[in-house]
């Protein structure tokens, strides 16, 4: 970056989030976080990563490395509490003064109030943190006549960190994505529809450290190419936050036709939901047999009372067929809350595109809200369910974007 005619070296400082608290596991979490940062910046340009205390410093290694793009990517890496672009300065107080003036000039010139916040991890530096604040504050007050000092809620904070090798100067720190690093809590298989809810559910579990796989059920010709493309776009949006999300596409047309033909209409939704779980489990097993890591949980976008199948009765009938926990992070959320997360993560506009879903096509007018397990099992007895499900699992296709 060039300001005035002085060339300045900028880095990105990343402050770790909750991993701070993880005691002995801290090292593991950090290694995973650093890996995730590396992956997310892979296409931005050459850089190196330094670790000091709980700060990770990203140092660009060529002009090609775009800091603008890098901070956008970093904002989507879980496990980060905050991050900021910072100027690297020699640990010479005169240089720190001059550099602060130049680096934050645009803000300091246009705002009214400011304060200096200093942190000194190098205790050998000749000024204490309060002295840095006082002396630098005095200097900046002198330089910018428009400014006054305000300790609570100033327009600009001039942050100075004096570390082992260099000092760093920055203005506002950005809030990070929070949570814990993806891949630090195992893997979950997300049942991903084209709706608003399930992408949000996947995002929430990635935020809690799960690596994601996703499975989507199609029923051509009742569902079309555009509906599938929409879900693939959702996978790409999730990828920005969660890294690569291997995507399974399972064709349930024949299965759904059989259910419709042979089972009571008011039980179709719940029987299909149980089948979805069984198919997802079958795919997990199939992948495990191929030597891939096992998904230890399923994830759905269900929210209690949202629709007829999302009742305690419906949920418990679904749970009966699963050998792994079914995570439902939206269970206690209102639609409005879910929508606001969908907007924040960038999935909302895609989710509301009006294409048909396999569930809605076969869904009965009056689904049973409180199904009993024995009646569902009886109805399923009319089908050759194992064979139908095995064949869906066998033909499920994997796509990796
Ligand atoms: P969403 O907005 O996620 O579609 P929804 O409120 O429409 O959810 P349902 O259609 O009842 O609710 O689906 C409940 C959950 O079942 C979804 O959140 C999703 O996890 C899963 N699901 C539904 N349809 C599909 C599908 N075609 N493929 C994969 N999973 C699905
Ligand atoms: Mg849906």
Q: Is 388 in the pocket of ligand 1 (CB under 6 A)?
A: no
d(CA 395, ligand 2 centre) in Å: 23
Q: Is 55 in the pocket of ligand 1 (CB under 6 A)?
A: no
**What's the pTM value of the predicted model, to 2 decimals?**
0.93
Ligand nearest to the CA of 326: 1
The Cα–Cα gap between 49 and 12 comes to 10
What the block records as the tokens of 7 is 């060339």
Q: Which atom of ligand 1 is nearest to the CA of 357?
A: 27
247-251 vs 211-218, strand pairing mode? parallel
Q: Is 16 in the pocket of ligand 1 (CB under 6 A)?
A: no
Q: From atom 16 of ligand 1, which residue's Cα is the shortest distance away?
A: 300
Residue to mutate (ligand 1; options 189, 191, 305; most atoms within 8 A of CB)? 191
Residue to mutate (ligand 1; options 189, 197, 396; most atoms within 8 A of CB)? 197
Q: How far is C-alpha 63 from the chain's CA centre?
A: 29
- Options 3.30.2130.30, 3.90.78.10, 3.20.20.140, 3.50.30.10; CATH of 10-177: 3.30.2130.30
pLDDT at 59: 96
Q: Do domains 10-177 and 187-399 have the same CATH topology?
A: no
Q: Is 396 in the pocket of ligand 1 (CB under 6 A)?
A: no
Q: From atom 20 of ligand 1, which residue's Cα is the shortest distance away?
A: 300
Closest listed residue to residue 32, CA positions, set 76, 75, 79, 69: 79
The Cα–Cα gap between 141 and 122 comes to 26
d(CA 357, ligand 1 centre) in Å: 8
Q: Is 359 in the pocket of ligand 1 (CB under 6 A)?
A: yes
Closest listed residue to residue 77, CA positions, set 23, 119, 30: 30
The answer to whether residues 8 and 166 touch, using CB atoms and an 8 Å cutoff, is: no
What residues are paired with 16 via a beta bridge? 80
Q: How far is C-alpha 119 from the chain's CA centre?
A: 30
Domain boundaries, the chain: 10-177, 187-399
Plot region of 287 (φ>0 → left; ψ -120 to 50 → alpha; else → beta): alpha
Q: From atom 22 of ligand 1, which residue's Cα is the shortest distance away?
A: 193
Q: From atom 24 of ligand 1, which residue's Cα is the shortest distance away?
A: 193
The answer to whether residues 267 and 357 touch, using CB atoms and an 8 Å cutoff, is: no
What residues are paired with 89 via a beta bridge? 167
Contacts of 214 (CB under 8 A, 6+ apart): 189, 190, 191, 192, 202, 235, 238, 245, 246, 247, 248
**Burial of 48: CB neighbours in 10 Å, binned 0-12, 13-18, 19+:** exposed
Q: 3-state SS of the chain?
A: CEECCEECCEEEEEEECHHHHCHHHHHHHHHHHHHHHHHHCCCCCCEEEEEECCEEEEEECCCCCCHHHHHHHHCCCCCEEEEEEEEEECCCHHHHHHHHHHHCHHHHHHCCEEEEEEEECCCCCCCCHHHHHHHHHHHHHHHCCCCEECCCCCCEEEEEEECCCCEEEECCCEEEEECECCCCCCEEEEECCCCCHHHHHHHHHHHECCEEEEEEEECCCCCCHHHHHHHHHHHHHHHHHHCCCCEEEEECHHHHHHHHHHCCHHHHHHHHHHHHHHHHHHHHHHHHHCCCCCCCEEECCCCCCCCCCCCHHHHHHHHCCCCCCEECCCCCCCHHHHHHHHHHHCCHHHHCCCCCCHHHHHCCCCCCCCCCHHHHHHHHCCCCHHHHHHHHHHHCEEECC
pLDDT at 19: 63
Any idea of the CA torsion for 328, 330, 331, 336, to the nearest 10 degrees?
Answer: -160
Closest listed residue to residue 320, CA positions, set 382, 277, 261, 381: 277
pLDDT at 17: 78
What class has domain 187-399?
alpha beta
Q: From atom 10 of ligand 1, which residue's Cα is the shortest distance away?
A: 359
d(CA 128, ligand 1 centre) in Å: 57
pLDDT at 2: 45
What the block records as the tokens of 395 is 């033909």
Ligand nearest to the CA of 216: 1
Q: Is 311 in the pocket of ligand 1 (CB under 6 A)?
A: no
- pLDDT tens track, the chain, 401 positions: 444 444 569 999 999 876 655 666 788 889 999 999 999 999 999 999 998 877 899 999 999 999 999 999 999 999 999 999 999 999 999 999 999 999 999 999 999 999 999 999 889 999 999 999 999 999 999 999 999 999 999 999 999 999 989 999 999 899 999 999 999 999 999 999 999 999 999 999 999 999 999 999 999 999 999 999 999 999 999 999 999 999 999 999 999 999 999 999 999 999 999 999 999 999 999 999 999 989 999 999 999 988 777 889 999 999 999 999 999 999 999 999 999 999 999 999 999 998 777 666 677 778 888 889 999 999 999 999 999 999 999 999 999 99
What the block records as the tokens of 120 is 């000194």
φ, ψ (nearest 5 deg) of residue 194: -95, 10
Ligand nearest to the CA of 342: 1
Residue to mutate (ligand 1; options 190, 194, 195; most atoms within 8 A of CB)? 195
The Cα–Cα gap between 287 and 187 comes to 13
Q: Is 256 in the pocket of ligand 1 (CB under 6 A)?
A: no
């Amino acid at each position: 970056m060039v300001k005035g005619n002085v060339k300045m070296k900028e880095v990105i400082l990343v402050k770790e989030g909750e991993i701070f608290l993880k005691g002995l596991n801290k090292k593991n979490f950090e290694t995973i976080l650093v890996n995730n940062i590396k992956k997310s910046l892979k296409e931005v340009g050459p850089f190196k990563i330094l670790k000091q205390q709980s700060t990770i410093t990203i140092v660009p290694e060529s002009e090609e490395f775009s800091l603008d793009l890098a901070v956008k990517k970093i904002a989507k890496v879980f496990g980060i509490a905050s991050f900021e672009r910072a100027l690297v300065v020699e640990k010479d107080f005169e240089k720190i003064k001059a550099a602060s003036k130049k680096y934050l000039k645009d803000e300091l010139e246009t705002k009214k109030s400011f304060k200096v916040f200093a942190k000194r991890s190098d205790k050998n530096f000749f000024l204490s943190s309060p002295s840095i604040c006082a002396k630098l504050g005095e200097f900046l007050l002198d330089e910018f006549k428009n400014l006054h000092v305000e300790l609570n809620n100033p327009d600009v904070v001039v942050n100075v960190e004096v570390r082992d090798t260099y000092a760093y100067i920055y203005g506002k720190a950005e809030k990070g994505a929070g949570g814990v690093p993806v891949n630090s809590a195992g893997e979950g298989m997300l049942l991903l529809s084209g709706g608003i809810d399930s992408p949000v559910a996947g995002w929430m579990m990635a935020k809690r450290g799960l690596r994601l796989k996703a499975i989507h059920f199609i029923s051509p010709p009742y569902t079309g190419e555009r509906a599938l493309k929409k879900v693939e776009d959702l996978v790409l949006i999730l990828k920005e936050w969660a890294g690569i999300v291997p995507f399974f596409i399972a064709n349930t047309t024949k299965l759904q036709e059989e259910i419709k033909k042979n089972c009571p209409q008011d039980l179709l939704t719940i029987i299909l939901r149980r089948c979805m779980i069984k198919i997802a489990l079958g795919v997990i097993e199939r992948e495990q047999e191929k030597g891939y890591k096992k998904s230890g949980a399923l994830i759905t976008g269900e929210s209690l009372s949202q629709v007829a199948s999302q009742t305690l009765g419906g949920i418990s009938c679904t749970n009966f067929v699963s050998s792994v926990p079914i995570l439902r992070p939206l269970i206690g959320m209102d639609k409005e809350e879910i929508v606001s997360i969908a907007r924040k993560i960038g999935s909302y506009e895609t989710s509301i595109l009006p294409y048909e879903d396999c569930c809605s096509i076969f869904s009965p007018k009056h689904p049973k809200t409180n199904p009993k397990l024995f009646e569902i099992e009886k109805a399923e007895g009319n089908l050759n369910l194992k064979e139908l499900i095995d064949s869906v699992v066998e033909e499920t296709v994997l796509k990796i974007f």
